[in-house]
Structure 1
Amino acid sequence: MEQGEAGRMLDGPRGRRLCLELARSLSSEAGSLISRLGFELDPDAGTSRISMTAQFGHGVGDAHPGPTPSIPVLVSAIDCLHAEALAEGIVHAAFSAAVGAARYWQDPDGEDVLAAHPDVRAVLWPLALHVSTMSELGWWYASSRPDQWLIDWENPGYPAPAERPDLDTWAMGIRAEEERSQRDRPRDPSAAYSGPWWSAPVVSRRSTAGRIPEAFDLVEDDFGWDAATVTPSSAPEQVIEIRTAGDWVDLCRAHPIEVTASRRHDWYRTTGIDSRWVIPDWSAIAGQAEGVHLTAAAYLELAGRALPVDDGLATVIAGWDPDATFWLQDDPVTAGPGIRWVRDRDSESWTID
């Protein structure tokens, strides 16, 4: 967990966003610059996103406003930060913000664009290095824990257990959607079309988390849920670990499902790459393992990137929460009564009800 881990974190859009959020949390000056530059770089600026940010250090209409936002000014502000001031709670809040900003069905937001700028990415290095060596965050790199938690969100907006399709049905649906998209959607990747964008077997919702309450705040594309019942569960006995790009790509090579037509437009917007696309065929992989686990560190490095599989062929990890274990065979076996947790919106903390 040293310089190599820091570099890999900054290779990923979610890892870079986490580090940018850390910079925001450490300095009001950097935070204001990030908000203002993020607004200017956002593809939705002036339409669905409106800037409400006041200039840092001065009231509206003050005769001495702060410096004009620019990349060099932001780089200078971040360069003055002290990574040693980062505590576990600050890092967790930044991680939650990075996960919440993931959107694989449209262009990256302005802050993601900002974090990807070479000069900004370079100055985020000390923050990434410090975080990658914090002993409290060793779980980011760990395998799926033997003790897991099954989270049942209240009013979740996805099928109840009795309505969940099996993975063979899931695979048939993926192929049918691809055939329809080949017929009905244009080849132009920039055309205004959208559809399914995930690469995890999200429709089955058979996943467990390794840590509670941390997992409540690390959910992609959530619905603003404020309550959940959590039940202890054991991890699958045979788990495929996704730690590197190679781990994921190997699954795509061994058991691919092509999803080019169905995901072309969404993944072009989020990655900027026009490619043929594949995802793993989870119905086939279920014959080899009971579950698949994506480490939190791998999520930060890999989620939302175009990962090359072969010439002209790529894949994207999307719709997979950090440290989540997806079950590919049976549903999780629970071991004990459920515990209800609720979120306090004032403190943004979770407590047992």
Structure 2
Amino acid sequence: MTNLTDALVRGPRGRRMCLEYVARTDEAVRTAVFWVGHEQDPNPGVLLRFVGDASDRKQDPTYTDDAVAALIDGADLTEIRVDIVRDSLQRSVDLARYWQEPDGEDVVAALPVVRGALRRVAERLVAAIPELTATRGAVQWAVDWRPLNDAAPLESAPAAVLAEWTRAQREGEARAAREWPADPRANVSGTWWSVPQRLLTTRGSVLDALELVEDFLGWEIATVIPVRGAGETLEIRSPDDWAHLCRAYPMEVTASRRHDWFRVTGRDGRWLIPDWQRVSERWDAVHLTMVGYLSAATQLIDIDAEYGSVIGGWGPDSTIWLTDAAREWDQGREHGTRPKDDWRWTRLVLPGDQ
């Protein structure tokens, strides 16, 4: 049985969620994390200061790693706000990056002394996220981000999608091996995803489908589609589960992923992802649990002494369908909308809706 507290502090996304929560609920922690994060960020932005004259200028505050950890240790976690937990989870997912170095606050959360302090936060947050270990449910939800007048049927030819994906991966890997430098530090970026992006992907709830989106692109209208699925589902609950899948169905992607994944992990070596076409011969679907995502995404997953992998481009509590075992359900589609300055979605009622 996975220790959920250990799982949260093990993964970058879990640690970032915990850091976001304690920073949002404690002003002293928020200030310290801001300044240390700016210092640690490999690509820091420019800080603008408005002062009357030189005499008004103040020195930027400085904090040691131990000071940040001490502030986290002293934060009041007596009452856990579920809404702030959700905000923190959403923020962590949105900031997942697979093509560049972790940002400064991800680096702060990974500092050994800070990571130790975040364990106390993780212990308290586990109870506030009951879906951490949920397996794939029978009722799922897919999202179409296109305008309402451009909605389309769900993907219904997974075998063809997988065949095309396999061909493209092999061609892309061969091309990258011919044309791209072997030095992982070279200024090259390419494909960083670990899963086929055109396959039907579903989530366990409407809100997760709309809100827990990596690298969110600012959509303001969405169509949410009910899906029912059956068949055999492989559950990815941990980095070890992903490593086992890569060992069982290996596809080498060293040449095409090495530059982006080096930036994310700092590892110079060979890389694998699952051969999803072969996986489809055994499984109808693969589900990345919430805790699987928080413990494994945006970090190096060791496969063996020679190979590593990264789970990239796959959100929490998300199922990819490898066969035609999932269908749109007749419950009816829903539409969501959100204001530009808020990530929260509300149901959009259209003429004819019940």
| Equivalent residue number for residue 24 of structure 2 | 25
| Equivalent residue number for residue 7 of structure 2 | 8
Residue 345 of structure 1 deviates from its aligned partner by 3.9
In structure 2, distance between residues paired with 1:8 and 1:321: 17
Matched, 1:344 2:339: yes
| Equivalent residue number for residue 145 of structure 1 | 137
| Equivalent residue number for residue 126 of structure 1 | 120
Contact 1:150–1:332 under 8 Å retained in 2: no
Contact 2:223–2:334 under 8 Å retained in 1: yes
TM-score normalised to the size of structure 2?
A: 0.89
In structure 2, what residue type is equivalent to 1:306? L
Please give the secondary structure, in 1, of the residue aligned with 2:70: helix
Residue 154 of structure 1 deviates from its aligned partner by 2.5
In structure 1, what residue type is equivalent to 2:46? I
Among 143, 161, 167, which residue is 2:162 paired with?
A: 167
Among 184, 191, 196, which residue is 2:186 paired with?
A: 191
Contact 1:19–1:128 under 8 Å retained in 2: yes
Residue 67 of structure 1 deviates from its aligned partner by 5.2
In structure 2, distance between residues paired with 1:124 and 1:189: 32
| Equivalent residue number for residue 83 of structure 1 | 77
Please, what is the CA RMSD of the aligned residues?
2.6
The alpha-carbon distance between structure 1 residues 53 and 179, as it changes in their structure 2 partners (threshold 3 A), is farther
In structure 2, distance between residues paired with 1:64 and 1:186: 46
Matched, 1:50 2:51: no
Contact 2:238–2:291 under 8 Å retained in 1: no
In structure 1, distance between residues paired with 2:153 and 2:49: 41
Among 266, 274, 296, which residue is 2:260 paired with?
A: 266
Further displaced range: 62-71 or 284-293? 62-71
TM-score normalised to the size of structure 1?
A: 0.89
Q: Deviations over 1:130-150 (max 9, x none)?
A: 11233xx22111100111112
The within-5 A match list for 1:67-78 is: 68-78=62-72
The within-5 A match list for 1:255-294 is: 255-294=249-288
Contact 2:254–2:271 under 8 Å retained in 1: yes
In structure 2, what residue type is equivalent to 1:352? R
| Equivalent residue number for residue 320 of structure 2 | 326
Further displaced range: 87-96 or 71-80? 71-80
| Equivalent residue number for residue 352 of structure 2 | none
Residue 161 of structure 1 deviates from its aligned partner by 5.7
| Equivalent residue number for residue 92 of structure 1 | 86
Matched, 1:214 2:213: no
Please give the secondary structure, in 2, of the residue aligned with 1:200: coil
In structure 2, distance between residues paired with 1:331 and 1:193: 38
In structure 1, distance between residues paired with 2:13 and 2:329: 33
Q: Deviations over 1:274-314 (max 9, x none)?
A: 11100001111111111100001110000112111122111
Contact 2:218–2:340 under 8 Å retained in 1: no
Among 224, 234, 244, which residue is 1:240 paired with?
A: 234
In structure 2, distance between residues paired with 1:36 and 1:281: 43
Q: Deviations over 1:119-139 (max 9, x none)?
A: 1111111110111233xx221
In structure 2, what residue type is equivalent to 1:50? V
Q: Deviations over 1:29-85 (max 9, x none)?
A: 21122112111111112xxx223599xxxxxx8799895333233222211112233
In structure 2, what residue type is equivalent to 1:278? L
The alpha-carbon distance between structure 1 residues 250 and 347, as it changes in their structure 2 partners (threshold 3 A), is closer
The alpha-carbon distance between structure 1 residues 96 and 177, as it changes in their structure 2 partners (threshold 3 A), is same
Among 247, 250, 265, which residue is 2:244 paired with?
A: 250
In structure 2, what residue type is equivalent to 1:125? R
Contact 2:211–2:345 under 8 Å retained in 1: no
In structure 2, distance between residues paired with 1:346 and 1:253: 43
| Equivalent residue number for residue 351 of structure 2 | none
In structure 2, distance between residues paired with 1:67 and 1:260: 42
| Equivalent residue number for residue 295 of structure 1 | 289
In structure 2, distance between residues paired with 1:198 and 1:227: 25
Residue 235 of structure 1 deviates from its aligned partner by 2.6
In structure 2, what residue type is equivalent to 1:179? A
Q: Percent of counterpart pairs with the same letter?
A: 37
Contact 2:231–2:325 under 8 Å retained in 1: no
| Equivalent residue number for residue 100 of structure 2 | 106
Residue 347 of structure 1 deviates from its aligned partner by 4.9
In structure 1, distance between residues paired with 2:279 and 2:187: 33
Please give the secondary structure, in 1, of the residue aligned with 2:91: helix
Q: Deviations over 1:218-255 (max 9, x none)?
A: 11122111221112111332111101222212211111
Residue 109 of structure 1 deviates from its aligned partner by 0.6
Among 291, 295, 302, which residue is 1:308 paired with?
A: 302
Contact 1:294–1:322 under 8 Å retained in 2: yes
Residue 160 of structure 1 deviates from its aligned partner by 8.3
Gaps of 5+ in 2: 349-354
| Equivalent residue number for residue 111 of structure 2 | 117
In structure 1, distance between residues paired with 2:175 and 2:117: 46
Contact 2:140–2:229 under 8 Å retained in 1: yes
